[in-house]
Amino acid sequence: MRKLDCTVILMAFAAPLFGQRIHVAPETKLLTYDTIFNLEGRTADQLFDKTKSWFVEYFRKAKEVIRGELKPSMLKGTFIMGFQQGIIAHEYESDVQVRIKDGAMKVTINGITHMNPNGTRGYPQEANNVKSDGTLRTGGMYTKPLTFLEGRYHELVLSLRAYLDKKDDF
């Protein structure tokens, strides 16, 4: 079986595991990973406070991560992560936005930027992964980073959901 066939098969099996997929959002034209939580019986204020506590616990330097807040409806932060592809190390920065209302929240991750080796902002992932017609590029060098990013975003969202589901604060 060719390498590309294996990648396509792996992606097909990984999609249901990760739930949401990175896609090109029609309204922003950005690579986006988003999901919605229904959290019945919880007010926006409760969800905001608990989400902000999660940011502080999940990220070591929360003061540098949280870039904006509008209580009780929105928190915005930056998520930086590394990825090893062969002998080359890559670092990505993403915007994380949590929109909150009574009983629900939407987590949107976009603004995915490949960082330069010296730590400065590099190029947006749309430049590498999105064709001029707005569809995603396929093939190993394009899908590997996106598969990695999807997995990390999924872990991030699962961590937030588990934190919100802890009964001790509500």
Measured between alpha carbons, how far is 84 from 25 in angstroms, rounded to an integer? 27
Strand, coil or helix: 100: strand
β-bridge partners, 37: 105
* Strands 31-38, 104-115: pairing kind: antiparallel
Q: Which residue in 111, 42, 104, 44 sits closest to 77, CA to CA?
A: 111
Q: Give the global pTM.
A: 0.80
Tokens representing 61? 């330097």
Tokens representing 2? 């060719």
Q: Which DSSP letter does residue 136 get?
A: B
- Model pLDDT, residue 90: 80
- Model pLDDT, residue 169: 52
CA 137 to chain centre: 19
Domain count, the chain: 1
Residue span of the structural domain in which 122 resides: 3-169
List the chain pLDDT tens, one digit each, 170 residues.
444 343 333 333 344 344 568 899 988 889 999 999 999 999 999 999 999 999 888 887 767 788 889 999 999 998 888 877 778 778 889 999 999 999 999 999 999 998 887 777 788 888 888 888 888 888 777 788 888 889 999 999 999 999 999 876 54
47: CATH: 3.30.530.80
